[in-house]
Amino acid sequence: MRASTIILRGGVEVEDPLGLALEFLTAYSGFDTSVSAGPSSFDESDLRLANRGGARISAAEIAAILERRGEIERALREIRPDASLADGTSSVPWLPLTRLFDAFADVRGVGLSKTTKALHRKRPALIPMLDSVVQAYLAGDDPGAGSGSFGERATALVRGYERDLDRNRSVLSGLRRELETRTYRLTEVRILDIVIWSVSAATSERDS
């Protein structure tokens, strides 16, 4: 096994994660190269940016989310802008993170995917984008929609994600540094997301 190999669940070995990441970024660079508003603010521009990442948040959903703006910004201020899953689980502000996710609870049409796509760029080293692909990958960590609050379910999935990141931490850190030399400033959280998504897409294409 090469030192650059990423190990995913099910024993999947990704031997060229840099190539996968560069292919993805060449095709879909708009979201990752766009500038987000300040780390403690949250406004319509953040939701429009999430839509560039495929969130598909409607105008009505944007309006409903922005009614929670005060609650969202209070929760963001509890979490350092540089908080990172790569620092290890004991350093992650799990309770404030749960409160942040819960600020999006019960917004009609807004689930884990739209919530985390809206929040990823606010705390890019901490919050993965839990779209349908990543949720399926983390299915073993999903307590289900009826177990606990919306925020608790989201946090459980992030805890599972953190374990995968920890298993591949050194490789992901090396990839982050390599991508920086190519002008891409991504976190370990985002790189792992790209790898999971790319492997899933390739598997679906082979099976179709």
Report the pLDDT value the prediction gives residue 33, as an integer from 0 to 100. Answer: 72
Structural domain contains residue 1: no
Number of domains in the chain: 1
Residue entry with tokens 């409607």: 58
Residue 75 lies in a domain: yes
Exposed / middle / buried, residue 144 (Cβ in 10 Å: 0-12, 13-18, 19+): exposed
Q: List the domain range (segments joined by +) for residue 165.
A: 6-207
121 domain-assigned? yes
Residue 171 lies in a domain: yes
Within-domain flag for 101: yes
Per the CB < 8 A criterion, the answer to whether 15 and 98 are in contact is no
| Paired tokens of 10 | 């099910």
Strand partners, 7: 13
- What would you measure as the largest C-alpha separation in the chain, in angstroms? 50
Please report the pLDDT score of residue 1 as a whole number: 46
91, 108 Cβ separation under 8 angstroms: no
Q: Helices (H) and strands (E) in the chain — how many of each?
A: 11, 2
Host H or E run for residue 7: strand 6-7
Ranges in the chain, pLDDT < 70: 1-3, 35, 204-208
Residue 206 confidence (pLDDT)? 66
How many CB atoms within 10 Å of residue 79? Answer: 21
Q: How big is the chain, counted in residues? A: 208
pTM: 0.93
